[in-house]
Amino acid sequence: MRRFAALAVCVLFFAATPAHAEFYRWVDKEGKEFFANDPEKVPQEYRAGASKVRPDPSRVSVGEKPVNARKTAAASGEHKDRHGRGEEYWHRRAANLRLKLRDQQDEYSLVQKQLEAQDQKTKKPGSREKTNAGLEKKKMKLEKDIARTRRMLEVDLAEEARRADAYPGWIRE
């Protein structure tokens, strides 16, 4: 009886094969991207446009052992977007926008401090209004520039990367 049980365990152990999952990708009318692991979970209207996604094993980590994406991507043929641009290009674009945003925010803080200092000084009413008007104008321009740069970083660049089929993590900090 023990031999039979041991034989059955050995047969089951050697007969086990690794499991593979299939993933499906589709884009809705608003341009949002969705994924599912079962074709039945794809809404009926998008099934014709759904495509199978093959995961890149070099970018997957299992258990406690993290994958160094840069080393494995270089070893297995680095992924490029539709225009042939790689991870470094997208990192550089996002970093430049972040730097521009920080510079604008620093300048905005400086203008705010100057305005506060002007308010605390007691000067002639006529000369004070001229100085404050110039600083207020500069402050409003900086607010617009900061909003524009933030939109470029958070919305426009992310949309451009999505359209170019770049990995979303490439533009994250």
Q: Nearest 5°: CA angle at 147, between 86 and 155?
A: 35
Q: What is the pLDDT of residues 91-101, one digit of tens each?
A: 999 999 999 99
CB-CB contact of 92 with 148 (8 Å): no
Question: In terms of Cα–Cα distance, which of 20, 36, 16 is closest to 28?
Answer: 36
Residue 133 has pLDDT above 80, yes or no: yes
Instruction: Band the pLDDT of 145: cuts 50, 70, 90.
Output: very high
Q: What is the pLDDT of residues 36-67, one digit of tens each?
A: 888 888 888 888 888 888 766 666 666 655 55
Question: In terms of Cα–Cα distance, which of 133, 144, 142 is closest to 110?
Answer: 142
For residue 153, give both structure tokens: 């970083």
pTM equals 0.51
Mean pLDDT of the chain: 80
Residue 112 has pLDDT above 80, yes or no: yes
Residue 10: φ, ψ to 5°: -65, -45
Task: Please state the length of the chain.
Answer: 173
Q: What is the pLDDT of residues 8-23, one digit of tens each?
A: 776 666 665 555 668 8
C-alpha to C-alpha distances, 57 to 48, 51, 52, 54, nearest whole angstrom: 27, 18, 15, 9
Q: Nearest 5°: CA angle at 77, between 76 and 83?
A: 150
